[in-house]
Amino acid sequence: MTREEQCARICEAIDAMEFRGNYLKHERYGNGHINDTFLVTYQNGTKMIRYILQRMNHEVFKNPEILMENICGVTEYLRSKIADYGGDTERETMNVINTKVGKPFFQDSIGSYWRAYRFIEDATCYEQVKNPEDFYQSAVAFGRFQYLLAGYHTDRLHETIKDFHNTPARYKAFLAAVSGDVKGRRKEVEQEIDFICSHEQDMKVSTELLKSGELPLRVTHNDTKLNNIMIDNATGRGICVIDLDTVMPGLSINDFGDSIRFGANTASEDEIDLSKVSLDIELFELFTKGYLEGCQGSLTGKEMEMLPVGAKILTLECGMRFLTDYLQGDIYFRIHREKHNLDRCRTQLKLVEDMEHKWSQMNSIVKKYMKYGW
């Protein structure tokens, strides 16, 4: 698509939305891997109003209609719970902007799907942990998200990406990518392949506990990175969980684990120098404390006990997914340099290795905060 064609589609989507006031400008916003995001500015009288406009990646999310059904159902429920405790429903959950014909999404003239949200002003999301307090606040916010949705029935949710955190299924897809070797890249990643294969038994643990009923199915976010929390600029408090595309039935330990593998890593997610990669045990403790505080007693004892397992499995799964994508030719995750997905994979696997070295510490920390009975 040419730049002119892309601009035409953006303008088509803007015109379809129930935005208030006079259009001023739009600009690309953020650096997400999946969707294309734009910040749209309007003027309504003397007030400036900003909106988030996104073109959904319907190669990744095959059915945008059911995805938006999930998001609308969850955000409406969250607004009711937030209103119950006197919170700010405009800032503490995402607010979907409908189209001019009353739909939560718009399909443009070439078949692309768009949706819009009210922009949350005076708040920031961070790509990396620079201030431990921000990581703690994200933990409280993700825990509170779990607590507020504890009464929302999982059968009301669609599975937007099949087997998203089904680690055994991910492993099967990985083995198929290794066997297929469609880009001839296998020979350079034999060490990474061996490491993943040596952890085959680990990948079955959480799914088996779910099948046995020892871990309950819950409404989960499934992409609990620090940059999916809006931090209030004035108070420093984590106020809103964003990016709800992967809200589905799942396991609480997976949400916990994804936050740890992203935020408690001493290096960036795609660090090339693996000597910089390790688990920051102090950040692990800080997040554990905040997450359990936010959950306010809504987790079972078994769920709390298995939190370290969630951290290890999600980190392993993510590394495996990056390597699968690399072997298949980088068709899922957006890359910005040659071998970007391979660098991401190696970072995750190094982090798994360090977690194994610190396993007893991780379990001791979780037991410490379980005693508070939140």
115 within a domain of the structure (yes/no): yes
The enclosing domain of 63 has a CATH number of 3.30.200.20
**Segment 330-355 mean pLDDT:** 95
**Segment 239-250 mean pLDDT:** 96
199 within a domain of the structure (yes/no): yes
269 plus 307 within the same structural domain: yes
321-341 burial code (b ≥16 CB/10 A, e <16):
bbbbbbbbebebbebeeebbb
Fill in the amino acid letter for 225.
K
Predicted pLDDT at 353: 98
CB 247 within 8 A of CB 220: yes
81 plus 227 within the same structural domain: no
Instruction: Say whether pLDDT at 374 is over 60.
Output: no
How much is the CA Rg of the chain, to the nearest whole Å? 21
Residue 193, both tokens: 């392949």
359 within a domain of the structure (yes/no): yes
Domain boundary among 85, 120, 155: 120
94 plus 242 within the same structural domain: no
126 within a domain of the structure (yes/no): no
93 plus 152 within the same structural domain: no
Reported as a single tens digit per residue, the pLDDT across 109-157 is 999 999 999 999 999 998 888 889 999 999 999 999 999 999 999 999 9
β-pairing, 113-118 vs 47-56, is: antiparallel
Residue 255, both tokens: 């949400």
Q: Which residues contact 92 (CB under 8 A, 6 or more apart)?
A: 78, 82, 239, 240
Instruction: Say whether pLDDT at 267 is over 90.
Output: yes
58 plus 150 within the same structural domain: no
When pLDDT is cut at 50, 70 and 90, the band that residue 1 belongs to is low
CB 74 within 8 A of CB 149: yes
Reported as a single tens digit per residue, the pLDDT across 205-234 is 999 999 999 999 999 999 999 999 999 999
Closest C-alpha among 23, 65, 62, 27 to residue 44: 23
CB 282 within 8 A of CB 132: yes
127 within a domain of the structure (yes/no): no
The enclosing domain of 320 has a CATH number of 3.90.1200.10
Instruction: Say whether pLDDT at 247 is over 90.
Output: yes
275 within a domain of the structure (yes/no): yes
DSSP 176: H
**Segment 32-39 mean pLDDT:** 83
136 plus 113 within the same structural domain: no
Residue 19, both tokens: 């935005």
Compute CA distances 293 → 144, 197, 286, 366, 371, whole Å: 8, 36, 11, 12, 12
58 plus 175 within the same structural domain: no
**Segment 158-171 mean pLDDT:** 93
**Distance (Å, whole) CA 107 – CA 82:** 31
Residue whose structure tokens are 């693996």: 274
Q: What's the number of domains the chain is made of?
A: 2
Domain that holds residue 228: 132-370
H-only helix segments in the chain: 3-16, 64-84, 132-148, 167-180, 190-197, 205-212, 252-263, 281-295, 301-305, 307-328, 340-357, 359-370
115 plus 173 within the same structural domain: no
203 plus 241 within the same structural domain: yes
42 within a domain of the structure (yes/no): yes
**Distance (Å, whole) CA 243 – CA 222:** 10
Percent of the chain with pLDDT strictly greater than 70: 98
- Give residue 195's Cα distance to chain centre: 25
Higher pLDDT, 6 or 40: 40
141 plus 244 within the same structural domain: yes
Domain boundary among 77, 100, 120: 120
52 plus 159 within the same structural domain: no
Q: Per mean pLDDT, which range of 68-72, 126-130, 155-159, 305-309 is the poorest?
A: 126-130
99 plus 207 within the same structural domain: no
